[in-house]
Amino acid sequence: MIKAVIFDMDGTMIDTERLSTGVWQRVAKEKGFELTKATIDSMRGRTTNRVREIFQEIYGDSVNYDEARALRTHYMNEIMDRDGVPKKKGLVELLEYLKKEGIPAAVATSTRSEAAIKNLKNAGVYDYMQAGVYGDMVTKSKPDPQTFHMAAEALGVDPKECVVVEDSEPGILAAKAAGGYSVFIQDVTTVPKEAREGVSAELEDLAELIGWIEKINANAEA
């Protein structure tokens, strides 16, 4: 029985991963360091502290991560303030369905709270969330399931009765480890087949989750 839905944010609720890739490449060019697609992919779904560690492992002291991240944040904010925050296909339809059915929703993201809340509000979906767990609230980065366990606790729902929706490799690994249902929706990053093994479902977009939840809950009630 699915009693709650827990969403990753970037690449799952809002279409920021494509934008982020271009902005990071712009920052790398301006700062004079090489940033490969593989490195960008390894950063997705990670907390700021973990990405800082990744930069240290790759570049040592030759690149100041905090300076690069500040510039990336500046450019991201500049673009989204001008153009708005793009929502993923089917998001509002799904959120309206959950609201109608009385199924609570939470966001569980590696993005820090100030930036995440701003993006959700600008996308017009913040008020649909009954709880939020952000990157500056956790001590362990995905693929550890801490983020999702905290979200389930905030909603007052057993993690086994939650469905976690994710798009990244560390995210889907954390979703599976959380112990409930896990749904993978492809975004810009190629997630290895091994990481996707054992997920509850792979769907094309968020709207498909409506029928899937109804099927799961109908079977549970039968």
101: confidence class by pLDDT, cuts 50, 70, 90: very high
DSSP-derived secondary structure for 169-197: HHHHHHHHHTTSEEEEE--SSPPPHHHHT
**pLDDT of the residue at 16:** 83
pTM: 0.86
Q: Of 109, 120, 104, which is closest to residue 154 (Cα–Cα)? A: 104
- Mean pLDDT within 110-136: 95
Q: Are 124 and 133 in contact (CB under 8 A)?
A: no
- The pLDDT tens digits for 32-54 are 999 998 899 889 878 889 999 99
